[in-house]
Amino acid sequence: MTNTPLEYSAASHPGLVRDNNEDCFLSQPEHGLWLVADGMGGHEAGEVASAIVRDTIERDTNENPNLPLVDSIQHAHTSILFSAANGIGAPGMGSTVVALRSDSAKYQIAWVGDSRAYLWTPTREGGRLEQLSVDHSYVQMLVDTGVISAEDAEFHPEKNIITQCLGMQELNQVKVDFVEGQWQTDQWILLCSDGLTDEVSDKTIAQILCESNDCLAAVDQLLHAALTGGGRDNITLQIIESPLQRNNARRGLWQWVPYLTGTVKVDAWIFGGALLSLLGLLVYVVSA
């Protein structure tokens, strides 16, 4: 879908409490497709459901690149229902999904459930974080109807109750929400399961994105923050960079400089000093 594959980074971790990972993700830059799916239903059920979502959307996109993303997500819902009815996985298994389709100028994000998409836009003041998706959750319904405030929602004890997911047996079809936008220079899109957002506040996410020189460093730091925050759920995230890039600090030779402090020039000085010290030691050993 895109002539020049976009830069991205992804990570998935079972967390510190669960022994299995029901999340999965898909990264297909050659087709302009990325997604995160968060399965539910217990061991050998949730991971089956999320894998069905991933495989269905991947197959649809590869076989018919013009098929709307919303239709692919509906197919994934039907595939989970069919699989459960035929002994694959378990009855009642389900999955959330948040997916991105992108080309060189615009993007579309579609979702079901409470896995999220954020847009990060650098500014002179640092940057702006915007949540693009709207959770399909009980707490979000309370916010929408004015029963509670958005601030109260973050700490509500029932924040993880979702109102729909792929594979929900009561629904012949799910309501797939979507947003579209035009890429701007140096923007990033973050896709994530609630294992990240339950442990890391939007404020902290914004701070980490602001301080990271590239998407690889940002993903590493966000995952670390979620694990440090408790890691009570599976954690999966992807960051996809805009095709319009002005800040190329970590491109070319800079990409070989290890991430140490979050500031590329400082990292380069530290790395360079370490290399020079090692070189000096080698010369001393050889000449001794």
Residue range 263-273, pLDDT digits in tens? 555 666 787 88
Report d(CA 212, CA 218) in Å as an integer.
5
pLDDT at 74 over 70: yes
Residue 86: pLDDT band by 50, 70, 90 thresholds? very high
- pLDDT tier, 287 (very low <50, low <70, confident <90, very high otherwise): confident
Tokens of 149: 């405030």
In this prediction, residue 251 carries a pLDDT of 46
| 141-176 per-position pLDDT tens digit | 999 999 999 888 888 889 889 999 999 999 999 999
pLDDT score of 277: 87
Q: What is the model's pLDDT at position 3?
A: 45
The backbone torsions φ and ψ at residue 218, rounded to the nearest 5 degrees and listed phi first, read -65, -45
Would you place residue 183 in the very low, low, confident or very high pLDDT band (cuts 50, 70, 90)?
A: very high
Place of tokens 């087709």: 31
- Using an 8 Å Cβ cutoff, are 74 and 174 in contact? yes
**CB within 8 A of 263, min separation 6: which ones?**
213
pLDDT of residue 266: 62
Q: Could you tell me the fold of the domain covering 8-246?
A: Phosphatase 2c; domain 1 (3.60.40)
| Burial label, 172 (beta-carbon count in 10 A; 0-12, 13-18, 19+) | exposed
**% pLDDT > 90, the chain:** 76
Give the strand order in the sheet containing 128-131.
8-13, 235-241, 188-192, 116-121, 128-131
CA-CA distance, 119 to 24, in Å (whole number)? 21
Instruction: Provide the 3-class DSSP secondary structure of residue 15.
Output: coil
37: β partners = 24, 97
Confidence class for position 200, pLDDT limits 50, 70, 90: very high
Q: Which of 238, 272, 240, 239 is nearest to 253 (CA)?
A: 272
- Residue ranges per structural domain of the chain: 8-246, 248-288
Average pLDDT rounded to a whole number, residues 12-34 = 97
Q: Is the pLDDT of residue 104 over 60?
A: yes
pLDDT of 252: 46
pLDDT over 70 at 37, yes or no: yes
Q: Which residues contact 242 (CB under 8 A, 6 or more apart)?
A: 6, 183, 184, 185, 186, 187, 188
Residue 280's pLDDT is what? Answer: 82
Assign residue 44 a region: left if phi > 0, alpha if psi is -120 to 50, beta otherwise? left
Q: Judge contact between 129 and 192, C-beta under 8 A.
A: no
Q: Quick one: which of 264, 267, 283, 222 has its CA closest to 36? A: 222
